[in-house]
Structure 1
């Protein structure tokens, strides 16, 4: 029987349907060809290749322009819907490189824009004809740099503003992206790192004049990769949102709920009220209501809003702006508990005994109406007997019952002994133009503690409720310090005549005794900072490992869903557990809790670093006019290259390079965190009081450089001019010379 060799069209169609195949024997087997027919097939494939219908690679053929079954991809990053796209790392076609949807599994690595991966092509869909699975990641995305662009003879250079680096980046002609001399830019690395010469970079974003005050937070946003532009799909969903009716919700509008927040709060996601309990079984007890904005009603699983909220993980707050987790239509309006406006909420009613212990709780999905929007200062003044016109009507119905319930709850808190650190919080006040007007420390009022204690109580109730309902959730985990950090803490406390027992299970009560022992003394700040540094960083996890700092066996975040994605997950878990609607936690979300926890723990750390860097830059700008002035401070850190000093006046941190300390060589002891003079045996260590002179302030990097004048009232010898004492002079993120040039050019532009 004569075998029929397939037509070119049939071969092309078969190859498209079987991208993993392509060898001549595969085609012959598929069409049942043998003997002479296989020879004819070979001739046909050669002819098709000459005509440009096929291409051959590694002994396999495929339609011209078709993708091989396994290839290297370069990720383009997620789109507005959160889907991850990529393109072939090598593309020689005349048309633009095809976009490929990357299908990820739970155990795949987290992929970012620019990462390279080995992918396997799989069957696509009508919406995404080209799809691939991850085999493995084979390279991270290009390094990014934020810096000042300078014209050069051949192209340009970028002076990085990161104070942890002192290298420039070379920009080739054509890669400057139109950047001008002295302009702030964002660039990405080109090619592989070079062993010799400057790394090469391409300008990807022009950020404007670095001398403008409002560039400060913009630098941090771009430097840390915080998403600050909402996708159109998310904005459209937010714009289409409407107020929620009562429906099947519990009507809570008659409760005397109020919000108490900072005077400059941008959103209001929690409201509280309290009253005497009329339950005969709880004489002298209290009922406390905590109502939280029902964000889950507007941000449904899988929506564009949900994908963007998860990508951001949390809101980021800066002195001049906020990068919100949700668009303004929700964060500032429909989800914000504005006074005298009906708002959907998830609330918990908690019964508190006269001893402050929580006796019971009940969760509900309701509709509430805040009676007033109060600041901490207003609420505190009213509680102290000095109400203003706004708080006077609520003195008897809201303020006094709330403080009475809090005094009971706070007594129970004191018995629990959470870690009681006393660390003042800085507040940077900006003018309308964005310049620093003043730097002060925020007052710590009982009003802050009232809200803090009731929010903690509500968070504990949420974790207990979901555990009782056998629901998965995200816990807020804070593990106890590791042995190495405890050993370093012991060195510090022993240096001030205190002790921390060894060989025992560490409890917060032991640390609180240390803190109480130094309260009001010159060592208070040093011991508080040392205890803080001994702590591990809190994170989110689907497993419960307890919360050491709060001394709680279980803890979840429930009270801030406008600004934290973790709280939104807990809300959805409560909705599903109580069958309040179809917008609860989905099975897919439940399976991905581990991945979600890891991601939002990362976004939280990212925001903290960006906020800290912004504060450093504002403080450096504030102090830049006071170079040469003398300040009192405390040694807050010791390193081989010098001392870190925290200033009393502003809380700003700066460096005293070891080359600027005294007239002798200083030996660094990492165990005791000290520097010891080789000749004088003078010891410099944590917590010592110092006088310094501000030698340099670099607003662009946020770096401060100090000269050490006195330690514990004793003058330090001035180092010989030009002396380096065998130790390289520490740089503020770049060479001094380059930084002065940058500063002068920035001012001119």
Structure 2
């Protein structure tokens, strides 16, 4: 007789939530995972029902459906004996598939580091991605979700996996070029991470001609024995016309463009003005001179500020558009907002997360009109430390819509013409905000937040829509003022979630992992510097290195390598702090118009404001793990799409300079060549290794350089060079350069040793190697932390405010 399963170790802590959601509730997913983990062996459905003491047929049916749903979501898998096993981050791992052009790939595990199904831990501050061979990738495409079994490690010690189950397909349509060979039509994806061509039936070619760009709907996903099958639903043409760069980049990377049926109509039903009934139970802030400060071409204003001095320091109000009042769970608006994950800011257009009737209208804090808001009301000490904060729903009326340049001209520059155009209460507000910024800036430096001096650019177009210049954007004190106020509100939101034990999404930026720290320390040793902090360096340790390098000629090189040692930030329901900002807890609260995680945080805060308990919040931990992974993916997708669109425009601009000579800086070193950023135009191109001297080059990964074996010639990150534009391919988004002179001026190491003395450094060797790296393509630079500039920031319509 089978041994009777033991009872679960404790009562279901989420019983209240389940009772609110269902008429005949059964134990939660979290409790089922705990039950299975406690038994330590697979259990069949009948054993689980017996352990839970379920009796009625309705409860048994609910259990069957829940187990199937957990299996579908990758929390559980069934073995051959129909027993359920927990996907528990040790052997079975679920996550997102990331493809590579060579046909291999890897699985990026989901964000939770516990038994709810997620991360393959790899030491402090890091998660090992799991390598997938080309054979395992036959059934998969980039952006699919899957469960894999860890089967061992490769030569570098990285885990290797085999496919167990496909959870979700990530590609419904694929954009690529149509070709026909021997009567067989196929589509070659433009996204190089999609490694398989799409086969097209004779009646599925949609009138496309050889070499034309087209969009194919996937009719059958790939299997171990067959490529994906599709049919063309739209032909885009042979070349990308002026003005089409954004749409093409969006389609290549799967950014949703069209609104599904009913979404825009649902948004329009709210009307254009806030009704009196919506004011009920809200704090009236319309008497306060709240200000919005954004870029000159901004259209959606999601935050407004008010500041006043107090006896002990400052009172700061950060009022954020109350999107949650309009976008409710279960609505068509909510479903599409979740799918999109975020707005995407292209060089000349925006793909919004929400329809413009909301994002630029009713939810935008436009001047001199009533708007609903969620308010973070903070009291700060004179040294910038948060004394206490509270959240409440309000109704406000923005007193003025200001730009960063306008505010800086009035307060920092003291421009009398600008000051004279502003009312006294507005000037007083700007002066208070600027004084508060100086306090917050000092507090930021004391805690060790990392602040890299990176160059961000914007494009200038002529009346025909062609790029006439690529220019650096200049951040002034009011960019930083608004940023510090937003960071303060985000910190308060994270603390609120933790205090009330309400589930939500944190913005997590982990410590650099062991592998990255080892490479960083190896590099710093070569230039005579050291990084303190042992296995867990802090932002203060990074800041000490940056300070030591401040007066060195190779400062840019050192800062670049420091930046690339950092990990990317993610959305997770489990708080692990924010390394780059040196904060113990951080959540995104300030942009619900354009980021879905912020909307979730608003709902979590509103849940408590409505008198509910954290345990009854309708989203489970698993829901938030999956949502966090999805939103992290849509953020990466947006970055890749915007980089592609920008690179297309830069290629178009540089095509008029074919054969031109430029000075530039080596921005990245790879085994197949050098990426050079051209001075004055801020465009990256590739000097392929075959265009260097006739020598056998070693790639020193630690030293970030190529070293000639015979000549000892070195090409190092941050070296200044002179190059010629040899080829520009707008369709492939590649720029090839020829080396003319190197180095023009080499930064001194200021320390021990030089690359020529490191001939034996660990690395790869290359001479004329054929690489799929091709020409200078967007995204050449490596690594990255959460200093998210460029395509990852708020974008052209928001004046370059950084996204943390």
**8 Å Cα contact 1:166-1:734 kept in structure 2:** no
* Structure of greater Rg: 1
Residue from 702, 708, 717 that aligns with 2:739: 708
Contact kept in structure 1, 2:502 and 2:615, CA below 8 Å: no
Specify which of 530, 534, 537 is matched with residue 503 of structure 1.
534
Residue 774 of structure 2 aligns to a residue in which SS? coil
Alignment of 1:198-237 (within 5 A): 202-208=231-237, 210-237=239-266
Asked whether 1:727 is paired with 2:756, we answer no
Deviation of 1:731 after TM superposition, in Å, equals 6.1
User: How far has the Cα of 1:409 moved from its partner?
Assistant: 1.9
Instruction: Structure 2: give runs of 5+ residues left out of the alignment.
Output: 1-67, 74-115, 119-139, 148-163, 747-765, 778-804
CA distance in 1, matches of 2:143, 2:525: 50
Which residue number in structure 1 is paired with residue 215 of structure 2? 186
Residue 635 of structure 2 is matched in structure 1 by 604
Counterpart of 2:22?
none
Aligned counterparts of 2:323 and 2:439: Cα–Cα separation in 1: 31
Q: Does 1:472 align with 2:503?
A: yes
Give distance in 2, aligned partners of 1:382 and 1:714. 40
SS state at 1:419 partner: coil
**Does the CA contact (< 8 Å) of 1:352 and 1:409 recur in 2?**
no
Are 2:292 and 1:250 aligned?
no
Q: In the alignment, which residue of structure 1 is the partner of 2:376?
A: 348
Partner residue of 2:605? 574
Q: Distance in 2 between matches of 1:709 and 1:352?
A: 56
Q: Does 1:177 align with 2:206?
A: yes
**CA-to-aligned-CA distance 1:691-718 (integer Å, 9 cap, x gap):** 2111112222221111122222389xxx
Report the secondary structure of 1:587's partner residue.
Answer: coil
Q: Deviations over 1:20-42 (max 9, x none)?
A: xxxxxxxxxxxxxxxxxxxxxxx
Q: Deviations over 1:203-243 (max 9, x none)?
A: 23223463312221112111111111122222121010142
Distance 1:541 1:139 in 2: 20
* Structure 1: tracts of 5 or more residues without a match: 1-69, 76-105, 119-134, 716-723, 736-749
For residues 157 and 624 of structure 1, do their structure 2 counterparts lie closer, same or farther at Cα, with a shift above 3 Å needed? Answer: farther
SS in 1 for 2:503: coil
Query: CA separation of 1:583/1:594 partners in 2, compared to 1, >3 Å: closer, same or farther?
Result: closer
* TM-score of the superposed pair, with normalisation by structure 2: 0.69
Residue 462 (structure 1) shift: 1.1
3-state SS of the aligned residue for 1:415?
helix
Name the structure 1 match of 2:328: 300
Q: Distance in 1 between matches of 2:143 and 2:644?
A: 25
Aligned to 1:98: none
Q: Is residue 398 of structure 1 aligned with residue 440 of structure 2?
A: no
Q: SS of the residue aligned with 1:418? A: coil
**Structure 2 residue aligned with 1:534:** 565
Residue matched to 2:347: 319
SS at match of 1:562: coil
Structure 1 residue 200: Cα displacement: 7.5
Normalised to the residue count of structure 1, the TM-score between the two structures is: 0.73
Give the Å deviation of 1:196. Answer: 13
Shift in CA distance, 726/287, structure 1 to aligned 2, threshold 3 Å: closer
Q: Distance in 2 between matches of 1:390 and 1:585?
A: 51
Q: Are the structure 2 counterparts of residues 575 and 635 from structure 1 closer, same or farther at C-alpha, using a change threshold of 3 Å? A: same
Post-superposition offset of 1:187: 3.0
**Residue 406 of structure 2 is aligned to residue 364 of structure 1:** no
Deviations along 1:281-313, one digit per CA (max 9) or x if unpaired, are x2xx22111100000000011111111111111
Question: Is the contact between residue 289 and residue 426 of structure 2 (CA under 8 Å) also seen in structure 1?
Answer: no
Question: Counterpart of 1:267?
Answer: 300
Cα shift at 1:147: 3.1
1:329, 1:192 → 2: CA distance?
Answer: 36
Q: Which residue of 1 aligns with 2:690?
A: 659
Residue 392 and residue 661 in structure 1: after superposition, are their counterparts in 2 closer, same or farther (change >3 A)? Answer: farther
Distance 1:254 1:371 in 2: 9
Q: Deviations over 1:326-364 (max 9, x none)?
A: 111110000000000100001122112222222122211
Could you tell me which residue of structure 2 aligns to residue 374 of structure 1? 402
| Matching residue of 2:653 | 622
* Contact 2:460–2:468, Cα closer than 8 Å, also in 1: yes
Q: Which moved more, 1:290-299 or 1:136-145?
A: 136-145
Provide the aligned C-alpha RMSD in A: 3.7
Q: Secondary structure of the equivalent of 2:204?
A: coil
Deviates most, 347-356 or 724-733: 724-733
Q: Which residue of 1 aligns with 2:176?
A: 147
Q: Is the 8 A contact 2:441 2:484 kept in 1?
A: yes
SS at match of 1:402: helix
Contact 2:378–2:388 (Cα < 8 Å) also in 1: yes
SS in 2 for 1:634: strand
Q: Distance in 2 between matches of 1:676 and 1:180?
A: 46
2:155 maps to: none
CA distance in structure 1 between the partners assigned to 2:732 and 2:554 by the alignment: 30
How many pairs align?
A: 603
Instruction: Identify the range of structure 1 (665-674 vs 476-485) with the bigger mean alpha-carbon deviation.
Output: 665-674
